[in-house]
Structure 1
Amino acid sequence: MTYGRVTPGERQTTRVGGDAAVLDDPVGQSLRGHHARLARRCGRAVGYLPDVATFSALSVGRGATGADTDATAWADLARLLGPGELADMFSSPATPPPGWKPVFEMEGRQMIRPGTGRFARAEAETGVVELGADDVPEMLGLVERTRPGPFWARTRELGTYLGIRHEGTLVAMAGERLRPPGWTEISAVCTAPEARGRGYAARLVGELAARITARGERPFLHVAEANTAAIALYEGLGFETRAEVVFRGFRVP
């Protein structure tokens, strides 16, 4: 199965072992595995609980692009979400039946760190702290200011979230999101405008990656193609592009 949309002549992507095949469907693999406790289901459709994440996935057929996903799976998804709701399909290439209106489409890339090398852990004096339930209002406020991507009241339940405070105010954070077998996605990487240029994002991503590799998993992440600064940051930390993807959302008829 091809993850996202890649055509001949496009950018070379990293080749990794067979265990990376689960990254072709990171949402479905997470919801049917590590995040099953946070899932809602209907037949061949599965999605995250409201206020956790907007992502949904379908059990697709064997076609290379998922185009053979039948109408039954989409009908299951419609019943799961409800009329007029957003079907956030992340990077699934499956095409909905007529009547499902496109809401957004954004090019991006999936990045991994090749090999099994360890990341350096952040030292205590770097100010990296774990964020908990009491920090959610500040986390939501930082997300509102920086727009790193979807983040809701219960998104923190997906995994560990780390932050950095300056004079008591949360100015940077990053956390764990999708959890396909053997992998953990790093997401919600953001820094307040007044705190940029201090290396906070690199520090947080590095610490999360260190924790992920320490428990025997591998880190990966997704980034919008237009976010060249973030891509440069991740490449500087040793991440490479595994595949080009297209993030898509549709309105349930």
Structure 2
Amino acid sequence: MTAGVTTGRVVPITDVAELARACGNDALIVWAGQGLRAERSERAWRLGDAVAVVAPDLSRHDRIVVHGPIEQLVPLVYEVLGEVGTAYRPFGDEPVIRELADRVEPLEVRAAFGWMDTTEPPSETAEGVRWLDGDTGVAELLEQASPESYAWPGLSGIDRWAAATDQAGRLISVAADAWSAPDLGFLAGVATAPEARGRGLSRQVCAFVTAELLARHGRTGLMVDGRNAVAIRLYERLGYTYRPVAAANAEPPKG
């Protein structure tokens, strides 16, 4: 790896409030660092105005979520990778991650997608949507409707599922409260049965979960495939704004 030019020294951040100040209350960084407590394994550092948060098993990956000027991020990421190992994936705004990959060997950009968040309750109604008591039937729906979903029943960080059902009580549209933090609820696992599409069910389920998470956390976020224009428009109708992000790997992906 190439460390670049270090100015100043790398300083640990041990308090969530300090982290929020250091990153200008950036929603992505605050989400990653909300477990920054003695009993949790998240860790964070700063170098000048650059911040890096180590977040194990965050949305199914061990991540180093970064923020700040590239000249300070390069040596900071180099040092953090040396501390936690190259299995961790640097993650942040797409232009920043692409420049990190150019300047820190052997990082390579592995995925580009979108982060979306909102603080405004949706105007969309969500009649007939409810939180499930458990997750029976969710995996079967995901296998049929969204086999590439990051959120699945039984995974670490998946808290609860909301659903719309048909007249027979079968699940036809679902979404999860997953990897939420005290100051940011996270929406994931959105799926609607193929035969039930075109009726606005995904929008209703997402409106319900968004409103519920906003009431609990004050802000709601999600990640979306940047090529999925239909999903992006749906989330924008619910008040979310889009932000291009990317992830890089120092090790080849497994499998």
Q: TM-score, normalised by structure 2?
A: 0.65
Tell me by how many angstroms 1:230 deviates: 0.4
Tell me by how many angstroms 1:73 deviates: 1.6
Q: Report the counterpart of residue 111 of structure 2 in structure 1.
A: 105
Evaluate the alpha carbon distance shift between residue 63 and residue 189 of structure 1 in structure 2; reply closer, same or farther with a 3 A threshold: same
Given residue 111 of structure 1, which amino acid in structure 2 is its aligned partner? M
Evaluate the alpha carbon distance shift between residue 134 and residue 172 of structure 1 in structure 2; reply closer, same or farther with a 3 A threshold: closer
Q: Deviations over 1:152-173 (max 9, x none)?
A: 4434744332112333432211
Evaluate the alpha carbon distance shift between residue 62 and residue 206 of structure 1 in structure 2; reply closer, same or farther with a 3 A threshold: closer
Q: Report the counterpart of residue 67 of structure 1 in structure 2.
A: 74
Asked if 1:77 corresponds to 2:78, the answer is no
Given residue 165 of structure 2, which amino acid in structure 1 is its aligned partner? R
Q: Report the counterpart of residue 55 of structure 2 in structure 1.
A: 46
Cα distance in 2 between the residues matched to 1:154 and 1:88 = 23
Cα distance in 2 between the residues matched to 1:113 and 1:28 = 16
Tell me by how many angstroms 1:20 deviates: 7.3
Give SS of 1:150's match. coil
Evaluate the alpha carbon distance shift between residue 193 and residue 90 of structure 1 in structure 2; reply closer, same or farther with a 3 A threshold: farther
What aligned pairs does 1:74-153 form with structure 2 within 5 A after superposition? 74-78=81-85, 87-91=88-92, 93=96, 95=100, 97-99=104-106, 102=108, 104-106=110-112, 108-113=113-118, 116-117=120-121, 119=123, 122-123=126-127, 126=128, 128-135=129-136, 138-145=137-144, 146-147=146-147, 149-153=149-153
Tell me by how many angstroms 1:75 deviates: 3.0
Evaluate the alpha carbon distance shift between residue 90 and residue 159 of structure 1 in structure 2; reply closer, same or farther with a 3 A threshold: farther
Give unpaired runs (5+ residues) of structure 2: 1-20, 46-53
Tell me by how many angstroms 1:220 deviates: 2.5
Tell me by how many angstroms 1:99 deviates: 4.3
CA contact (8 A) 1:143 1:151 kept: no
Query: Which residue among 58, 62, 79 is the counterpart of 1:56?
Result: 62
Evaluate the alpha carbon distance shift between residue 176 and residue 118 of structure 1 in structure 2; reply closer, same or farther with a 3 A threshold: same
Tell me by how many angstroms 1:64 deviates: 4.2
Evaluate the alpha carbon distance shift between residue 169 and residue 185 of structure 1 in structure 2; reply closer, same or farther with a 3 A threshold: same
Evaluate the alpha carbon distance shift between residue 226 and residue 20 of structure 1 in structure 2; reply closer, same or farther with a 3 A threshold: farther
CA contact (8 A) 2:175 2:188 kept: yes
Give SS of 2:202's match. helix
Tell me by how many angstroms 1:23 deviates: 1.5
Between structure 1 and structure 2, the one with the greater Rg is 2
Q: Report the counterpart of residue 159 of structure 1 in structure 2.
A: 159
Q: Deviations over 1:199-239 (max 9, x none)?
A: 11111111112212323512232222100010111122232
Q: Report the counterpart of residue 210 of structure 1 in structure 2.
A: 211
Give unpaired runs (5+ residues) of structure 1: 1-17, 82-86
Query: Which residue among 20, 26, 40 is the counterpart of 1:22?
Result: 26
Given residue 98 of structure 1, which amino acid in structure 2 is its aligned partner? E
Tell me by how many angstroms 1:72 deviates: 3.6
Asked if 1:192 corresponds to 2:193, the answer is yes
Cα distance in 1 between the residues matched to 2:188 and 2:156 = 11
The two structures, once aligned, show a CA RMSD in angstroms of 3.7
Given residue 78 of structure 1, which amino acid in structure 2 is its aligned partner? G
